[in-house]
């Protein structure tokens, strides 16, 4: 079973004023370095999805893949870029994590593998809906890439609009002392993340 992890950092960070949100400091390391440190024990092979001049990430030491579709079509385009990279290397699965979510579960990957579904997404308990998907955290079968490309070309942008066509499975992660899918979108979120870091 071959597998690669992709850190999705291809967004425009509008709520943070643009730029590379992952370069903001969280504790003694940047946000993206915190994500890499959490992903590396689970996914020894990692790549980064980013757009623009990818040389700005050279210091991270990760292969960098850009969206093949223009106009920033969203996280699914980053998943597709990772699938294309994986297919060229005969890798069967891509696991995606978000670059702005530094506390994701340390058992994320092993639990996503358990379903065996073509697409498996992380989720959290929700009092109203039962399960709240966290769709940038998923495990994706690479041989779905042509279907995903067609969907994106056809205008699909919402992740679950596509995943629910492919026998999507959800794996629920219970919250601990820290919400494992807390993500940094604003300056206030970053301040809160620094507080949460002390609890982990």
Do residues 4 and 94 touch, judged by C-beta distance below 8 A? yes
pLDDT at 70 over 80: no
Query: What pLDDT score was predicted for residue 178?
Result: 87
Query: What pLDDT score was predicted for residue 69?
Result: 81
Q: What is the pLDDT of residues 95-144, one digit of tens each?
A: 999 999 999 999 999 999 999 999 999 999 988 878 999 999 999 999 99
For the sheet containing 169-172, what is the strand order? 64-65, 46-49, 3-8, 93-98, 130-141, 119-126, 169-172
pTM of the model: 0.92
Residue 173: pLDDT band (50, 70, 90) is very high
Q: For Cα atoms 7, 103, 200, give the angle at the middle one, nearest 5 degrees.
A: 150
First to last CA, the chain: 31
- Output the average pLDDT for the chain: 91
Query: What pLDDT score was predicted for residue 60?
Result: 95
Q: What is the pLDDT of residues 21-38, one digit of tens each?
A: 888 999 889 999 999 999
Do residues 54 and 66 touch, judged by C-beta distance below 8 A? yes
Query: What pLDDT score was predicted for residue 17?
Result: 47
pLDDT at 12 over 60: no
User: Quick one: which H or E segment has residue 93?
Assistant: strand 93-98
Q: Which domains does the chain have, with CATH numbers?
A: 3-197 (3.90.550.10)
């Amino acid at each position: 079973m071959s597998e690669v992890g992709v850190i999705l950092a291809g967004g425009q960070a509008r709520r943070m004023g643009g730029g590379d949100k992952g370069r903001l400091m969280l504790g003694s390391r940047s946000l993206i370095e915190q994500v890499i440190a959490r992903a590396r024990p689970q996914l020894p092979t990692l790549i980064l999805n980013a757009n623009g001049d990818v040389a700005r990430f050279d210091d991270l030491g990760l292969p960098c893949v850009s969206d093949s579709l223009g106009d920033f079509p969203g996280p699914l385009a980053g998943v597709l870029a990772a699938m294309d990279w994986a297919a060229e290397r005969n890798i069967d699965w891509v696991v995606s994590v978000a670059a702005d979510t530094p506390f994701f579960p340390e058992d994320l990957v092993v639990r996503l593998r358990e379903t065996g579904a073509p697409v498996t997404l992380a989720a959290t308990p929700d009092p109203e809906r039962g399960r709240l998907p966290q769709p940038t955290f998923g495990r994706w079968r690479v041989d779905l890439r042509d279907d995903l490309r067609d969907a994106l070309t056809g205008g699909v942008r919402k992740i679950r609009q596509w995943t629910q066509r492919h026998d999507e499975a959800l794996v629920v992660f219970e919250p601990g002392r820290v919400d494992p899918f807390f993500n940094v979108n604003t300056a206030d979120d970053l301040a809160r993340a620094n507080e949460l870091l002390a609890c982990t």
